[in-house]
Structure 1
Amino acid sequence: MQLDPIPANKHLIFIGGGHAHVIALLMMAMDKPAGVRITLISNLVQTPYSGMLPGLIAGHYSFDQVHIDLGRFCRYAGIDFIEDAVTGIDPVNRTVQCLNHPDFSYDLLSIDTGSTPALTTIPGASEFTTGVKPVKELLDYWDDLQDRIMQGDDNQDIHIGTVGGGASAVEVLLAMQYKLQKMLGKQQRRTSHLHFHVICGPQQILSAQNKRVQNRYISVLKERHIEVHTGFRVARVKQGRVINADGESISLDEILWATTARGADWPAKAGLECDDNGCIRVNDYLQSVSHPEIFATGDIADMVNYPRPKAGVFAVRQGAPLLRNLQAALSGQPLTRYKPQKQFLSLISTGDRYAVASRGPFSFAGAWVWRWKDNIDQTFMRRFSDLTELPDQTPGATLTIENPDMRCGGCGAKVGHSILNRVLKQLPRPTNNIEIGLNRPDDAAVIDVPADKLLVQSVDSFRQLVNDDFLFGQIAANHALGDIFAMGATPHSAQAIVSIPHASDEIVEQRLRHLLLGASKVFSDCNIGLIGGHTSEGNELTLGFTINGLADRQQLLTKQGIQPGDRLIVTKPLGTGTLFASDMRSQAKGRWISQALQHMLQSNYRASQILSAAGAHACTDITGFGLLGHLSEMLEGSNLSVRLWLDNLPVMDGALACLRAGLLSSLHPKNRQFDALIANLDDFDSEANIELLFDPQTAGGLLAAVSADQADKVIAELQAAGYSEACAIGSVRQDGNTQVVLS
Structure 2
Amino acid sequence: MQQDLTPANKHLIFIGGGHAHALALLMMAMNKPAGVRITLISNLIQTPYSGMLPGLIAGHYSFDQVHIDLGRFCRYAGIDFIEDTVTGIDPAGRTVQCLNHPPFRYDLLSIDTGSTPDLNSIPGAAEFTIGVKPVKQLLDYWEGLQNRVMQGDDRVDFHIGTVGGGASAVEVLLAMQYKLHKMLSKEQRRTSHLHFHIICGPQQILTGHNNRVKNRYLKVLKERNIELHTNFHVDQVKQGRVINDSGETIELDEIIWATSATGAEWPSRAGLECSDNGCIRVNDYLQSLSHPEIFAAGDIAEMVNYPRPKAGVFAVRQGAPLLHNLQAALAGAPLTRFKPQSQFLSLISTGDRYAVASRGPFSFAGAWVWRWKDRIDQKFMQRFSDLTQLPGQVPGNELKIENPDMRCGGCGAKVGHSILNRVLKQLPAPPNEIEIGLNRPDDAAVIDVPADKLLVQSVDSFRQLVNDDFLFGQIAANHALGDIFAMGAEPHSAQAIVSLPHASDEIIEQRLRHLLLGASKVFSNCGIGLIGGHTSEGTELTLGFTINGLAERQQLLTKQGLQPGDRLIITKPLGTGTLFASDMRSQAQGRWISLALQHMLQSNYQASKIFTAAGAHACTDITGFGLLGHLHEMLDGTGLGARLWLEKLPVMDGALACLRAGLFSSLHPQNRKFEHSLINLDEFNTDTAIELLFDPQTAGGLLAAVSSDQADDVVAELQATGYTEACAIGSVRQEGNDSVTLM
> Is TM (by shorter chain) over 0.5?
yes
- The 5-angstrom pairing of residues 359-370 of structure 1 reads 359-370=359-370
Aligned to 1:185: 185
Provide closer, same or farther for how the CA distance between residues 391 and 633 of structure 1 changes in structure 2, counting only shifts above 3 A: farther
Query: Secondary structure of the equivalent of 2:388?
Result: coil
Alignment pair present for 1:118 and 2:106: no
The answer to whether the Cα contact below 8 Å between 1:32 and 1:396 also exists between their aligned partners in 2 is: no
Alignment pair present for 1:267 and 2:234: no
The answer to whether the Cα contact below 8 Å between 1:32 and 1:395 also exists between their aligned partners in 2 is: no
- The 5-angstrom pairing of residues 336-735 of structure 1 reads 336-388=336-388, 391-392=394-395, 394=397, 404-735=404-735
Matching residue's letter, 2:467:
N
CA distance in 2, matches of 1:92, 1:564: 66
CA distance in 1, matches of 2:114, 2:144: 25
Query: Secondary structure of the equivalent of 1:276?
Result: coil
**Offset at 1:393?**
6.4
CA distance in 2, matches of 1:679, 1:582: 30
**Offset at 1:727?**
0.2
Alignment pair present for 1:26 and 2:23: no
CA distance in 1, matches of 2:360, 2:208: 11
Matching residue's letter, 2:147:
D
Query: Secondary structure of the equivalent of 1:452?
Result: coil
Alignment pair present for 1:740 and 2:740: yes
CA distance in 2, matches of 1:231, 1:722: 52
Aligned to 2:41: 41
Query: Secondary structure of the equivalent of 1:496?
Result: strand
**Offset at 1:152?**
1.5
The answer to whether the Cα contact below 8 Å between 2:642 and 2:736 also exists between their aligned partners in 1 is: no
The answer to whether the Cα contact below 8 Å between 1:14 and 1:112 also exists between their aligned partners in 2 is: yes
- Two-structure CA RMSD over aligned residues (Å): 1.2
**Offset at 1:91?**
0.3
**Offset at 1:203?**
3.5
CA distance in 2, matches of 1:701, 1:72: 25
Cα deviation code 1:559-583 (max 9, x no counterpart) = 0100000000000000000000000
Provide closer, same or farther for how the CA distance between residues 396 and 315 of structure 1 changes in structure 2, counting only shifts above 3 A: farther
Aligned to 2:325: 325
Aligned to 2:306: 306
Cα deviation code 1:594-649 (max 9, x no counterpart) = 00000000000000000100000000000000000000000011111111000000
**Offset at 1:9?**
0.2
CA distance in 1, matches of 2:218, 2:9: 57
Matching residue's letter, 2:119:
L
Matching residue's letter, 1:711:
A
Cα deviation code 1:510-550 (max 9, x no counterpart) = 00000000000000000100000000000000000000000
CA distance in 1, matches of 2:162, 2:717: 46
Aligned to 1:286: 286
Aligned to 2:102: 102
CA distance in 1, matches of 2:210, 2:396: 46
CA distance in 2, matches of 1:463, 1:177: 51
Query: Secondary structure of the equivalent of 1:436?
Result: coil
Alignment pair present for 1:247 and 2:247: yes
Query: Secondary structure of the equivalent of 1:694?
Result: coil
**Offset at 1:294?**
0.2
The answer to whether the Cα contact below 8 Å between 1:34 and 1:396 also exists between their aligned partners in 2 is: no
CA distance in 1, matches of 2:440, 2:191: 74
The answer to whether the Cα contact below 8 Å between 2:641 and 2:734 also exists between their aligned partners in 1 is: yes
Deviates more, 1:155-164 or 1:44-53: 155-164
Aligned to 2:50: 50
Structure 2: where are the runs of 5+ without partners?
A: none
**Offset at 1:223?**
0.4
CA distance in 2, matches of 1:632, 1:282: 63
CA distance in 1, matches of 2:535, 2:97: 26
CA distance in 2, matches of 1:584, 1:6: 20
The answer to whether the Cα contact below 8 Å between 1:34 and 1:395 also exists between their aligned partners in 2 is: no
The answer to whether the Cα contact below 8 Å between 1:646 and 1:689 also exists between their aligned partners in 2 is: yes
**Offset at 1:673?**
0.4
Query: Secondary structure of the equivalent of 1:7?
Result: coil
CA distance in 2, matches of 1:660, 1:99: 37
CA distance in 1, matches of 2:398, 2:284: 29
Query: Secondary structure of the equivalent of 1:28?
Result: helix
The answer to whether the Cα contact below 8 Å between 2:5 and 2:399 also exists between their aligned partners in 1 is: no
CA distance in 1, matches of 2:297, 2:119: 22
Deviates more, 1:479-488 or 1:679-688: 679-688
**Offset at 1:736?**
4.5
**Offset at 1:448?**
1.0
**Offset at 1:369?**
0.2
Aligned to 2:231: 231
**Offset at 1:208?**
1.4
CA distance in 2, matches of 1:68, 1:464: 24
Cα deviation code 1:308-364 (max 9, x no counterpart) = 110100000100000000000000000000000000000000000000000000000
CA distance in 2, matches of 1:497, 1:388: 35
Provide closer, same or farther for how the CA distance between residues 395 and 268 of structure 1 changes in structure 2, counting only shifts above 3 A: farther
Matching residue's letter, 2:518:
G
- The 5-angstrom pairing of residues 4-153 of structure 1 reads 5-153=5-153
CA distance in 2, matches of 1:198, 1:183: 22
Cα deviation code 1:677-735 (max 9, x no counterpart) = 00000112322100000000000000000000000000000000000000000011112
Query: Secondary structure of the equivalent of 2:292?
Result: coil
* TM-score for both structures, normalised by structure 2: 0.98
CA distance in 2, matches of 1:381, 1:340: 22
The answer to whether the Cα contact below 8 Å between 2:642 and 2:730 also exists between their aligned partners in 1 is: yes
CA distance in 2, matches of 1:147, 1:440: 62
CA distance in 2, matches of 1:671, 1:391: 36
**Offset at 1:396?**
9.4
The answer to whether the Cα contact below 8 Å between 1:31 and 1:393 also exists between their aligned partners in 2 is: no
The answer to whether the Cα contact below 8 Å between 1:498 and 1:543 also exists between their aligned partners in 2 is: yes
Cα deviation code 1:96-115 (max 9, x no counterpart) = 00000000000000000000
Matching residue's letter, 2:538:
G
CA distance in 1, matches of 2:684, 2:542: 39
CA distance in 1, matches of 2:703, 2:738: 18
The answer to whether the Cα contact below 8 Å between 2:572 and 2:725 also exists between their aligned partners in 1 is: yes
**Offset at 1:151?**
1.4
Deviates more, 1:496-505 or 1:154-163: 154-163
The answer to whether the Cα contact below 8 Å between 1:6 and 1:404 also exists between their aligned partners in 2 is: no
Divergent runs of 4+, >2 A:
389-397
**Offset at 1:431?**
1.5
Provide closer, same or farther for how the CA distance between residues 509 and 708 of structure 1 changes in structure 2, counting only shifts above 3 A: same
The answer to whether the Cα contact below 8 Å between 1:20 and 1:319 also exists between their aligned partners in 2 is: yes
**Offset at 1:394?**
4.7
CA distance in 2, matches of 1:685, 1:635: 22
CA distance in 1, matches of 2:367, 2:441: 74
CA distance in 2, matches of 1:575, 1:722: 19
Matching residue's letter, 1:570:
I
The answer to whether the Cα contact below 8 Å between 1:31 and 1:395 also exists between their aligned partners in 2 is: no
**Offset at 1:738?**
1.7
Query: Secondary structure of the equivalent of 1:586?
Result: coil
Query: Secondary structure of the equivalent of 1:531?
Result: strand
Matching residue's letter, 1:293:
E
The answer to whether the Cα contact below 8 Å between 1:491 and 1:550 also exists between their aligned partners in 2 is: yes
**Offset at 1:204?**
1.0
